Amino acid sequence: MRRMPHDTPRLLAFADTLADAAGKAILPYFRAQHSITNKLDDGRFDPVTEADQAAERAMLALIEREFPDHGVLGEEYGERASKSGYQWILDPIDGTRAFISGLPTWGVLIGLYYENRPLIGVMDQPFTQERYRGWMDGANATTRNSTHPIKTRACASLAEATISTTSPDLFVNEEAKAWANIRAQAKLVRYGYDCYAYCMVAAGHIDGVVESGLKPFDIAALIPIITGAGGGVCRWDGGDASQGGRVLAFGCERVRDAALTLLHT
The pLDDT of residue 43 is above 70: no
Residues 47, 97: contact at Cβ < 8 Å?
A: yes
Question: Going from the N-terminus, what domains does the chain have, and what CATH number goes with each?
Answer: 8-143 (3.30.540.10), 158-263 (3.40.190.80)
* Range with the poorest average pLDDT among 130-144, 157-171, 213-227: 130-144
Neighbours of 162 (CB within 10 A): 20
The pLDDT of residue 4: 59
Residues 221, 198: contact at Cβ < 8 Å?
A: no
Give the pLDDT band (50/70/90) at residue 33: confident
Query: Cα–Cα distance between 195 and 103 in angstroms, integer?
Result: 13
**Can you give the pTM of this predicted structure?**
0.93
The pLDDT of residue 78: 87
Across the range 61-81, mean pLDDT stands at: 95
Specify the higher pLDDT residue, 163 or 5. 163
Query: Cα–Cα distance between 28 and 72 in angstroms, integer?
Result: 25
Across the range 2-9, mean pLDDT stands at: 74
The pLDDT of residue 39: 57
